[in-house]
Every structure is written in C-alpha cells, then in structure tokens.
Structure 1
Amino acid sequence: MMRAWIQLVIAIGVEIVGTSLLKLSAGFKHPLVGILGMLLYGLAIFSFSLALRKIPLSIGYAIWAGVGTAVTGLIGIWAFGEVLTGLKTLGFMAIIMGVVLLNKPLKAPQTAPTTSRTARWRTRYNR
C-alpha cells in the first residue's frame, strides 16, 4: 500500500513540473519545452494509474487534483508573478478542506453487492 502512495506523490510531482513547463513553453513558442511538458503529463498519468491499483479512485483523484491544483497555484504566484488575492486564498483553503473531508469517512464504508461481472472485473484489474 505504501508503494501506491509513493506512486501518487510521483504522479503529482511530475504533473506539477509538466504544467510549469507548459507555461514556460509560451504556447509552444519553445516547442522542446512544451513537448517535455507533455511527456511528463504522460508519465504522471502512468504513475497515477499504478497508484490506483491500491488507492480508491475517489480518494486518489481528489488528492491528485487538489494537491496538484494548490501547488501549481502557489508556483504561479512564486515563479510567474501571479497575484495572491483573498479569493485565491479562499479557493486554496477550499481545496485543502475538500481533500481532508474526502479522506475522513463519516461512517463505515459499505461494499456494493458483487455481481459475477463485477467480480470478474475486480479480479482482472485489481491485482
């Protein structure tokens, strides 16, 4: 299970670097930088798919999207001179709260009834 979380961290980090490179490509005026950014997106998705073998989709995606969005926003402020407004600060706080809430179940998780097709799918793809 720890390996899945490491894969998720790698996916987030690689996506953040890829996004920053796409910004630096200036709309592909610097095509090699843009291509490298796109390749990193592919690597991020691959790493994310490995993480999803063990991490539930709703939790994994919430963390990936939330942390990626927040860190990318902070990079925009720090590296690209974007302005941190009160509304952006509220948005960052909402992202963090959303990720926290999705990771805290209110009651015990319920398992869906297993049909033969569902069982085959789980056996095939959740190794």
Structure 2
Amino acid sequence: MKYWLFLGVAIVAEVIATSALKASDGFSRPLPSLIVAVGYLAAFYFLSLTLKVIPVGIAYAIWAGLGIILIAVASWIIYGQKLDLPAVLGMSLIIAGVMVMNLFSKTGA
C-alpha cells in the first residue's frame, strides 16, 4: 500500500514542478526554478521507490496519465488555460484507461 502512496507523491511532485516550469521563465526566476528542480527530484525519487513493487509499465502509465490530467487542471486554474471539448474528451479517455488498468489488469497485482 505504501508504494501506491509513493506513486501519489511522485505524481503530485511532478505536477508542482511542471506547473512551476512556466513560472520559471526559462529558469531566469530563482524561486520557481528551485521549485522545478526540487519537484522533479522528488518526483523521480518517489517513482523509483514505487518501482520496487509496482511494474514499471503500470506505474509509468498511471504517473503519466494522471500527471497529464492534473497539469491540465492546474494550468486551467493557475494560468487560465482553456480546455475545449476534444481536450476534455481526451482526458476522459486517459481516466478510463487508468481505471481499466487498475480494475481489470492482473499486471500490477
């Protein structure tokens, strides 16, 4: 169970780091740049812990899929990025794929 928590921490750290990437303005702003560096370091560290138990394909698919959705939501809230219908439909398919993997696949068991 703790490895799923590690995966969650990795996802959140990646989302924070990626959200700060735009604010870093090409790494010309120190605080957002530091957030990017620390966030990605934490994300990969916790992902590496996750991979001790959860297969890499499953962990990465969940990490990337949920990361995409959370980044889109964060960009909408923080930067006012608009999400059109195709974007929402695409993210819905990502959510469906992650759910199918978790509910029906025996790979991650």
TM-score between the two structures when normalised by the length of structure 1: 0.77
Cα distance, 1:26 vs structure 2:
1.9
Question: 1:1-127 maps to which residues of 2 (within 5 A)?
Answer: 2-103=1-102, 104-105=104-105
Secondary structure at the residue paired with 1:27?
Answer: coil
Cα distance, 1:16 vs structure 2:
0.7
TM-score between the two structures when normalised by the length of structure 2: 0.88
Secondary structure at the residue paired with 1:26?
Answer: coil
Residue type matched to 2:58 in 1?
I
Structure 1 alignment gaps of length 5 or more: 110-127
Please, what is the CA RMSD of the aligned residues?
Answer: 1.5
Kept after mapping to 2: 8 A contact 1:22/1:38: no
Measured against aligned partners, the alpha-carbon deviations of 1:51-110 in whole angstroms (never above 9, x if no partner) come to: 1111111211111111111011011111111111001111111111121222222xx66x
Cα distance between partner residues in 1 of 2:29 and 2:87: 29
Aligned residue pairs total 106
Cα distance, 1:6 vs structure 2:
0.9
Bigger Rg, which one: 1
Cα distance, 1:36 vs structure 2:
2.4
List structure 1 segments (4+ residues) > 6 angstroms apart after TM superposition. Answer: none
- Quick check: which one's helix share is greater? 2
Residue in structure 2 matched with residue 124 of structure 1 by the alignment: none
Q: Sequence identity, in percent?
A: 37
Cα distance between partner residues in 2 of 1:27 and 1:81: 20
